Structure 1
Amino acid sequence: MDHAQFRRTAVAPVLAAYAATPGVDAVMLGGSTARGDADRWSDVEVGVFWTRPPTLAERTAPAASVRPGTPADDDSPWYDYLELDGLAIDVEHALSSKVEETLDLVLGAGVPDPDGLTLLKGLVDGRDIDGPRPELVHAWQRRASTYPRRLAIAIVERDGAIDKFWRCQMLAERDNPVLLAREFLRVTNQLLTVLHAINKRYSGHVLAFKRLGAMEAELTHAPTDLAHRLRTVFTAPPPEATEVLRQLVEDTYDVIEAQLPEVETARLRARFRTTRRPIG
């Protein structure tokens, strides 16, 4: 089964209903269904852009089974959770003016705001755009298609500052796999956020990829054997996993030096290499 096409077909009436709602500028299909890499576990993501704050009734009218999220007020976004014959649909509502402000903040000022980066990721992935003013979304997409270099630098300087890596050795010696896994996840999240920025790919609160191999193929500038080494971090014995991750971070700093020489990698390396000596 083509899971993405199945979901596009299933959600089409919901998109059309939102597009016909007064006050809606445009509606967009997003996420893995829009990208084409949905699987049988995938929800459907929908973006609805309003010229004014919607009422709760307007937000929830297009589907019979709705679990409202945040209440409507004078700000955005707002979230609702719909169910259509068992298929989960995550709907994010935003004011068109708020999108413009976010584009100015992230693309214009180069501020790596996580909410803004998540929105930009959704815009880049979006398709099946409908509504009275689809040209709005097309204009946003054209603007988002150019990833500012200073935004990449800001993200790398923020997330490339990986500290307290010595905790991995400490937690391995304590035989605490739960907290060790948390540390591995913290470091890999920062590392992958950096690599996405270097490759001019938006990522926000959650790195949106389903398969490590597909992600690796999209990251032209990255350490070698990235997907295999990431799997090793979470499957190998703790001492080996820690060393693999340590070298991945060091190799990522090499990539930064090659692609973004404006970043002071010596400072990032020094912070990463700072250790705590055990006593006794």
Structure 2
Amino acid sequence: MTSDNAPTTPCAPPDRIAAMAARLTQVPGIRAVMLGGSRARGTHRPDSDWDLGLYYRGTPDVAALAAPAAAFQGSPVEVAGPGGWGPWVDGGAWLRVDGVQVDWILRDLDRVERVWDDCRAGRFEVGVQPGHPLGFWSPAYPGEVALGRVLSDPDGELTALRAQTSVYPEPLRAALAGAAWEAEFAVAAARKSAPSGDRLHVSLCLSRAFGVLTQALHAHHRTWCLNEKGALAAAAALPRTPAGFADRVDAALRGLDTAAVETASEVVREVRAVLGAAAG
């Protein structure tokens, strides 16, 4: 219980979000709306954003999306259509509702289903995408469905896909764990640049190496890794992750010198030993 004088934190009421989701699935092309991010996982703060995935088929009516966006925010909102934000994060809109950020993110349901088929066959892609400095890893698409909460799904399409993604595909686990070889390659490249003080190249190589290891560790435990944010701490908390994993990565990224490269090399060897032991 709080006192009458206690400060309040803006928070969009859940019923407003539910009404928004129901309204959005009335827009031509929008098939379902899913809540993602910390609010879907129950790890949010009162002021956390609301992340809504708008799953569409065909070409969504962007103009028709602008009308409810303006109604909910109380002022005009720019809605980016498919491709407006890049090749993987299709587009969407940023709203401010009841003092809290509400993000709409478009997702092509046909493409998500194709990526899911690839994942079940052990295939994945890493694409260039603004906002994803280590690239957009295609398994994030089914991972978002698996970890999200369906808010509106008139025809049950997204609900059915979510049921499928509740089981992490073994071929994907093997493929992502096997891709850890790239981390060793990246560290070898950094080792050549560190003596000359080329910190940009070293930082990019080491970041890539640690990003690959983080993806591999999540896959090894059949855990979806959606993006770079919080991924290092989450990987460090997984069983059998090498001791001091996060601290050693932090130290290497602060140093960016020859000693940092050798620390990175040790981390790579230890993680690959964990992955190799499971494979054998």
**TM-score, normalised relative to structure 1:** 0.75
2:91 alignment partner, SS class: strand
In angstroms, what is the RMSD of aligned CA positions? Answer: 3.3
Letter in 2 for 1:56: V
User: 1:132 and 1:156, CA in 2 relative to 1: closer, same or farther beyond 3 A?
Assistant: same
Of 25, 32, 45 in structure 1, the residue corresponding to residue 31 of structure 2 is 25
- Cα distance in 2 between the residues matched to 1:71 and 1:99: 14
- Cα distance in 2 between the residues matched to 1:92 and 1:244: 38
Deviation at 1:143, TM superposition (A): 1.0
- Cα distance in 2 between the residues matched to 1:48 and 1:256: 36
Q: Tell me the equivalent position of 1:275.
A: none
1:138-157 deviation line (CA, Å, top 9, x unaligned) = 32122112112211222233
User: 1:196 and 1:25, CA in 2 relative to 1: closer, same or farther beyond 3 A?
Assistant: same
1:49 alignment partner, SS class: strand
Q: Tell me the equivalent position of 1:121.
A: 143
For residues 195-274 of structure 1, the aligned pairs below 5 Å read 195-203=217-225, 206-209=227-230, 212-217=232-237, 219-236=238-255, 238-261=257-280
**TM-score, normalised relative to structure 2:** 0.75
Of 47, 72, 84 in structure 1, the residue corresponding to residue 96 of structure 2 is 84
Deviation at 1:126, TM superposition (A): 0.6
Counterpart contact for 2:177–2:220, Cα < 8 Å = yes
1:141 aligned onto 2:162: yes
More displaced 10-residue stretch of structure 1: 83-92 or 249-258 = 83-92
Unmatched tracts of structure 2, length 5 or more:
1-6, 71-75, 127-136
Q: Tell me the equivalent position of 2:79.
A: 68
User: 1:7 and 1:244, CA in 2 relative to 1: closer, same or farther beyond 3 A?
Assistant: farther
Identity, in percent, stands at 23
- Cα distance in 1 between the residues matched to 2:107 and 2:187: 39
Unmatched tracts of structure 1, length 5 or more:
262-280
Q: Tell me the equivalent position of 1:57.
A: 63
Counterpart contact for 1:79–1:90, Cα < 8 Å = no
1:111 aligned onto 2:123: yes
